[in-house]
Amino acid sequence: MNYVPLNRYPLNSQTFRTPLSWAAANGHTEVVKLLMSREDVKLDASDFRARTPLFFAVMNGHGDVVRLLLSRHDVNPNSFDNSGETPLSVAITKGQVAMVNLLLGRKDIILNCVGMMGVSAIYLSTLCGREEILEILLAREDADPNLQSWNGWGPLSLAVGPGKTSIVKMLLDRADVNPNPVEHGGWTPLDRARVHEHKDIVALIESRISAMGHSDIYPCPERVPPP
């Protein structure tokens, strides 16, 4: 078996995928174990979209394979594909709670720069409405709940606009969440809640601001209403 090219794709392949990539993607745990036992197999070899075996295993929900791959220090849990996605961003987007928990088991997992445009895991969970995953992330001190995206929107602004009251409450329940951060356009989550007439969210934000000892919670009246 020593002559088999384990880190190369077939000459007629247009995917550039290795045997390990295919085995991981299809959940063939025993084949993955066999390939991982060989020193000549590159565990992070990627395809034409820069997707690694771990990426495919997470995407297809093969927990046993994900667990095997993550047990190796030479497998990068934070690799980006050509679309800017990571294994964690894929798991969050698809709502794969088990996959998220497995990835969070790695001490080197990056939580504050995942997915396209480098948003945080908490931001992405909020965007996708994945409340169970959001709850898991909010329990971790290394997950920043205040990081803003390129347009200045943080998780709280993202939840306020469409009126996701339960998510707003989850975010505000974390002690280090800024209840009224200023976006790039000058607006705040409280402004958005008022413009969209989300009265329950207005009450939640005002209560949190008041509890922090802040009294200046009223926006400037000259600004154009936010989207």
Domain spans of the chain? 150-227
Give the per-residue pLDDT at 215: 52
Report the alpha-carbon distance of residue 169 to residue 82 in Å, rounded. Answer: 35
Give the per-residue pLDDT at 114: 78
Give the per-residue pLDDT at 7: 55
For residue 60, count other CB atoms closer than 10 A to its CB: 17
Give the per-residue pLDDT at 208: 96
Question: Residue 119: beta bridge partners?
Answer: 114
DSSP string, 156-224: HHHHHTTT-HHHHHHHHTSTT--SSPPPTTS--HHHHHHHTT-HHHHHHHHHHHHHTT----PPPTTSP
pLDDT tens series, the chain, 227 aa: 444 455 555 444 556 789 999 999 999 999 999 999 999 999 999 999 999 999 999 999 999 999 999 999 999 999 999 999 999 999 999 999 999 999 999 999 999 987 767 799 999 999 999 999 999 999 999 999 999 998 889 999 999 999 999 999 999 999 999 999 998 889 999 999 999 999 999 999 999 999 988 654 444 444 544 55
Tokens of 44: 């992070």
Q: Looking at the domain covering 150-227, what would its CATH class be? A: mainly alpha
Cα 147 to Cα 5, 82, 122, 123: the distances in Å are 44, 23, 9, 8
Backbone angles phi, psi at 114, to 5 degrees: -130, 155
Give the per-residue pLDDT at 151: 82
| Contact indicator for 171, 159 with CB cutoff of 8 Å | yes
Question: Residue 10: beta bridge partners?
Answer: none
Give the per-residue pLDDT at 14: 58
| Full-model pTM | 0.87
Backbone angles phi, psi at 119, to 5 degrees: -75, 165
Give the per-residue pLDDT at 226: 55
